[in-house]
Amino acid sequence: MLRYEIQLNFFHPTIQPSTSSPASAIRGGLRDNIIASSGRRAIRSDPPTYSSILEDNSEEYTSEAESEASIDKRPDHVPARFVPTQRSDDGGYPSHHHHEAFNRTVSAVSLPVGKQLKDMSDKTQYERAIEQLNNDPMVHKEVALGRRIGFYRLGKELGAGNFSKVKLGVHQLTKEKVAIKIMDKAKMDQKAQKLLTREIQSMEKMNHPNIVKLFECVETLTRVHLVVEYASGGELYTYVHERGKLSEADAKPLFAQIVSAVAHMHSRNLVHRDIKAENVMFSSPTQVKLVDFGFSCLVERDQLLQTFCGSPPYAAPELFRDKSYSGELVDIWALGVLLFFMLVGVTPFKGETVADMKVMIMEGKFQLPEYISLMAGELIKGMLKTETDKRADIEYVKKNFWMRDCRFTKSYLSIKANIKIDDETEKSAINDKVWKIMNNYGITREMLVEENMDKGPRDAVIGTYRIVQFQVQGEMAKIAKDKETPPPSSSSITNGSPNHLSKKEKFNKNRSTTCLIL
């Protein structure tokens, strides 16, 4: 029986490079933005209801060192190439998939293969799930009809791009709602595959409450399925465009979350290079997530980059002026433009054409409205210095007087699935709770070792572990936040500040607490 294994840097022999736009295949990922809502994550036993998010539009991207220039107008790991390999009893994975449609559609790499199973009444939830995937005709039919992939039941379509679409999914064991981005391999050329691979690699290195989380990648012969956090809050851009500028009181906590996310990236030697309001998504009325890492890349200390990418209104002057640039300083400039947009409702640099806008950006000419406070204006000016050696860095932004009362979100603790922790630390408490839930599903530490940790998001057991850990960390973070944040007084609710953000009716009350965007 043919089994399919993911390998980088080789084309599947039946797939020819697409003549479509080089990177369009994954730029649906730019706005197949799907983030997770940050509310308290209840670990449910009953299936959640479906909810929707704004439909996205696709955009084009370019890869570092492969594209000369690219300008943007507007849930697992994804390898760059796919090669079928013959698996035999003496060299490969034993095959238990007897149904032809199942074999064509379900990833042999991602889905674990159960061993000799007991009677159904004695089986764990995990064993029953494997048994259904292998032998249940109804499940095979769902797979063939595109209603199921691996451990995920697929629901309504959330959005679509040129070569991809995003569907709502529910994980069979955890009942967690996720966003599943489905990409057609045949429509992805070499450049698009490289960008997608880079995006996944970046997401694998990050673990922060304000950055969308990658759970699993399910591979089939013809498609790649990225399973990520799901959220229904919509874009910051749409929110400001429809409701107008934010007050400084409302903008501060949101901007602090974005700064926290960017600081986390920079601490991991990652740069985003496409920060903009369209790539900031609401996961709850008061929480946002940074999404879309197609332009992100790993950099060495003081390394200069050369590819011009991103959105013109947010582009730093050195992108037009110099042959190379610092990725971190480009991110800081974009943060300055973003804060201006949040407080004013428009971007600072205007022009009838991109060429006119380019001149304004290079000269650093913009005007702050009189209603902007002195300290907010100083912070914006510090981030929008045309001279890179005078521009603020991320630490300056965090310590600025205007943000003195802000709470900067801490990164999640990184806990490897196959490491046992015996001390009395927070890691130990999280790890113990995660494994208690995993054991209830019938998944043990030994199974993770057997399943080969190197598969990362391409393994269903690892994907389940990541979802459970995400649920537990989110729940514990919410408890900690509630303990340190006093409840608002009645006067502050009636007279108070966050006017538009308090309108929680905009969000589905039954929505999942998680979500994505690629």
DSSP result, 316-362: -HHHHH-S-EEHHHHHHHHHHHHHHHHHHSS-S---SSHHHHHHHHH
Provide the annotated active-site residues: 274
317 φ/ψ sector (left φ>0, alpha ψ -120 to 50, else beta): alpha
Average pLDDT (105-134) is: 67
> Are 245 and 342 a contacting pair, CB within 8 Å?
yes
Average pLDDT (410-423) is: 63
DSSP assignment string, 240-256: HHHH-PPPHHHHHHHHH
Go through the domains of the chain in sequence order and give each one's CATH number. Answer: 2-229 (3.30.200.20), 236-403 (1.10.510.10)
**For residue 281, what is the enclosing H or E element?**
strand 280-284
Residue 504 counted as an annotated binding residue? no
Structure confidence at residue 486 (pLDDT):
53
pLDDT in tens, 154-182: 999 988 877 788 899 999 999 999 989 99
- From CA 347, how far away is CA 15, in angstroms rounded? 42
Cα-to-chain-centroid distance, residue 343: 26
pLDDT in tens, 136-155: 899 999 988 889 999 999 99
Residue of higher predicted confidence among 328 and 91? 328
For residue 268, the one-letter residue type is R
Provide the 8-state DSSP code for 403.
G
Q: To the nearest whole percent, how much of the chain has pLDDT over 90?
A: 41
Give the lowest-confidence range in 127-136, 217-226, 233-242, 403-412. Answer: 403-412
> Are 65 and 306 a contacting pair, CB within 8 Å?
yes
> Are 17 and 184 a contacting pair, CB within 8 Å?
no
pLDDT surpassing 90 at residue 263: yes
- From CA 377, how far away is CA 274, in angstroms rounded? 23
> Are 114 and 131 a contacting pair, CB within 8 Å?
yes
> Are 12 and 81 a contacting pair, CB within 8 Å?
yes
Q: To the nearest whole percent, how much of the chain has pLDDT over 70?
A: 66
pLDDT surpassing 80 at residue 83: no
| Token pair 């990236």 in the structure block, residue | 265
∠ CA 183-184-186, rounded to 5°: 145
> Are 335 and 281 a contacting pair, CB within 8 Å?
no
Residue of higher predicted confidence among 385 and 58? 385
> Are 275 and 332 a contacting pair, CB within 8 Å?
no
- CB-based contacts of 424, cutoff 8 Å, min separation 6: none
pLDDT surpassing 60 at residue 211: yes
Burial-class residue 173 by CB neighbours within 10 Å (0-12, 13-18, 19+): buried
Average pLDDT, the chain: 75
From 221, 231, 304, 269, select the one nearest 513 (Cα to Cα): 231
pLDDT surpassing 60 at residue 222: yes
Residue 183, phi then psi, degrees to nearest 5: -120, 140
- CB-based contacts of 335, cutoff 8 Å, min separation 6: 258, 259, 262, 275, 383, 397
